Amino acid sequence: MQSQEGAQAVSDPQATLTMPGYLPRVAARDVESALRRRGAVLIEGVRGCGKTWLGRHFARSEARLDDEAILLLASSDPAEVLRGPIPRLLDEWQNAPQLWNRVRRECDDRPERGQFILTGSAVPQDDVTRHTGTGRISRVLLRPMSLFEAGRSSGGVSLREVFEGDAVSSMPNEGVGLREIAGALCAGGWPQHLGESHSDALQSVRDYVGEAVRLDIPSGNGVRHDPDMVRRLLLALSHSVSTEAKMTKLASDMSFGSPPGRNTVAAYLDALRRIFIVEDQPAWPVSLRSKAVLRKAPKRHFVDPSLAAALLGATPERLLADRTTFGLLFESLVVRDLRVYSQSGLGGVFHFRDNTGLEADAIVERGDGSWIAAEIKLNTAPSVIDQAAKALNRLKEKVARPRLGDLAALVVITPTGPAYRRPDGVQVIPLTVLGP
Domain that holds residue 423: 157-435
Residues 386 and 359 in one domain: yes
Question: What does the pLDDT read at residue 124?
Answer: 64
* pLDDT tops 70 at residue 429: yes
Instruction: Point out the domain boundary residue: 141, 169, 190.
Output: 141
pLDDT of residue 11: 41
In this structure, the answer to whether residues 128 and 246 fall within a common structural domain is: no
**Coil, strand or helix at 273:** helix
Same domain, yes or no: 109 and 72: yes
Residue 1 lies in a domain: no
Residues 339 and 286 placed together within one structural domain of the fold: yes
Same domain, 127 and 49: yes
- Are 317 and 380 in the same domain? yes
- The mean per-residue pLDDT over the stretch 201-208 comes to 93
pLDDT of the residue at 47:
93
* Sign of the torsion angle spanned by Cα atoms 119, 125, 131, 132: positive
Q: What is the mean pLDDT of the chain?
A: 89
Four-CA torsion 11, 16, 20, 26, nearest 10 degrees: 180
> Would 331 be classed as within a structural domain?
yes
3 part of a folded domain: no
Element (H, E) at 409: strand 407-414
pLDDT tens, residue by residue, 77-109: 999 999 999 999 999 998 898 899 999 999 888
Q: Tell me, yes or no, if the pTM score tops 0.85.
A: yes
Report the alpha-carbon distance of residue 24 to residue 200 in Å, rounded: 24
Residue 275 pLDDT exceeds 50? yes
259: confidence class by pLDDT, cuts 50, 70, 90: confident
| Residue range 374-387, pLDDT digits in tens | 999 999 999 999 99
| 136 and 169 fall within a common domain | no
Is residue 36 domain-shared with residue 166, that is, in the same domain? no
Terminal Cα-to-Cα distance of the chain (whole angstroms): 44
For residues 110 and 168, membership in a common domain is answered with no
One domain, residues 253 and 315:
yes
Using one digit for the tens of pLDDT, what is the confidence trace for 221-240? 556 678 888 899 999 999 99
146: in domain: no
Q: How many domains does one find in the chain?
A: 2
Residue 69 maps to which CATH number? 3.40.50.300
Contacts 24+ apart (CB under 8 A), 184-187: 184/147, 184/150, 184/152, 184/333, 185/305, 185/306, 185/309, 185/319, 185/329, 185/330, 185/333, 186/306, 186/309, 186/310, 186/314, 186/315, 186/316, 186/319, 187/306
Q: Are residues 112 and 201 in the same domain?
A: no
Please tell me the distance from the alpha carbon of residue 106 to that of residue 345, in angstroms, as a whole number. 29
Task: Look at phi and psi of residue 277 and say left if phi exceeds 0, alpha if psi is from -120 to 50, else beta.
Answer: alpha
